[in-house]
Amino acid sequence: MAPSRVPTGLTTLLRRTIQHQKQHPHLQSLCCPILRRSYQSYDHPPAPGVFGAAEQAILSAAYRHVPEHGFTQHALSLGARDAGYLDISTNLLPEGPFSLIRYHLVTQREALTPQSELIFHSRGEEKTYLPQQVLDKVERLTWERLLGNQEVNHRWQEALAIMAQPPHVPASLRELALLADDIYYLAGDTSVDSSWYTKRGSLSMIYASSELFMTNDRSAGFGETRAFLQRRLDETNNVGGAWGSFAQWVSFTASAGVNVLRSKGFRI
């Protein structure tokens, strides 16, 4: 089946953005973060860390409380105390519990780089991989990232509900896009044609649906989740199937977000 085309409007937007930044480089620092680093490549290094020293200290300490207390303000307060800060220091994190979720997303994504070196015995030299080798590496790296959720898997539906709230959707989707990009980058993908977009878009959908599937998986070692992931990757040529899985994830997160807002007194 022929790969889907990149939407013309998206291509035009990207071209105009790149052209505008070249013409006005002094304005790049004012651009949306998504446009500053929307992808990774062999010619574009990753962006600097997103957390300051104090934020890092509080979040890393708070993260240890997530399995028991969830991605909550209480976990953040406990983390601040553990890190030697006053409870009020959580004001350094204006996004509240979402900061803790974002910390999880960022640190687990970044952990894939050293993991890939251990798994694939890479010594840092430049290599060229056959297409099937790339796909095998994509599957393994995606699975390793899913395993990064196992300690907080019982809390992840709560996290999805927070991520689905309108203020947090852009950052959540951005992290999902960065994850798909990093996986293909670490797998050795060097494509520069339109498939660059379609492969990462499809992987984003597959990962999102696999992550949701995992929250209800009670099999040993999350074996059913890995089988689900492998089936979805085998269906990557069936774009309709990939979109169907993503639609399920969107439906769940949207309804979960609505329920959270209702619990806070909003009339929806």
* Domain co-membership, 246 together with 265: yes
* Domain co-membership, 115 together with 247: yes
> First CA to last CA across the chain, in angstroms?
42
Distance from C-alpha of 31 to C-alpha of 21, rounded to nearest angstrom: 9
Residue type, 1: M
Q: Considering only 10-14, 94-98, 245-249, which range has the smallest mean pLDDT? A: 10-14
For residue 112, is pLDDT > 80? Answer: yes
Contacts of 235 (CB under 8 A, 6+ apart): 241, 242
pLDDT tens, position by position, 71-98: 999 999 999 999 999 988 898 899 999 9
From its phi and psi, is residue 128 left (phi > 0), alpha (psi between -120 and 50) or beta? Answer: beta
Contacts of 77 (CB under 8 A, 6+ apart): 87, 90
* Domain co-membership, 152 together with 77: no
Query: What percent of the chain shows pLDDT beyond 70?
Result: 66
16 domain-assigned: no
For residue 45, is pLDDT > 90? Answer: no
For residue 27, is pLDDT > 50? Answer: no
Task: Look up residue 209 and give its two tokens.
Answer: 């649906």
* Domain co-membership, 171 together with 61: no
* Domain co-membership, 69 together with 177: no
CA 128 vs CA 134, 139, 190: distances in Å:
9, 18, 8
Contacts of 113 (CB under 8 A, 6+ apart): 182, 186
Distance from C-alpha of 212 to C-alpha of 157, rounded to nearest angstrom: 8
Banded model confidence at residue 133, pLDDT cuts 50, 70, 90: confident
The count of domains in the chain is 2
* Domain co-membership, 196 together with 101: yes
* Domain co-membership, 161 together with 80: no
Distance from C-alpha of 268 to C-alpha of 111, rounded to nearest angstrom: 39
* Domain co-membership, 151 together with 176: yes
Contacts of 224 (CB under 8 A, 6+ apart): 213, 217
Burial class of residue 265, CB neighbours in 10 A (0-12, 13-18, 19+): exposed
Task: Look up residue 132 and give its two tokens.
Answer: 């099937």
For residue 255, is pLDDT > 90? Answer: no
* Mean pLDDT of the residues in the chain: 78
Distance from C-alpha of 112 to C-alpha of 142, rounded to nearest angstrom: 9
* Domain co-membership, 183 together with 84: no
Q: Which of 230, 182, 173 is closest to 206 using CA atoms?
A: 230
Contact present, 177 and 204 (Cβ < 8 Å): yes
The range of the structural domain enclosing residue 74 comes to 52-94
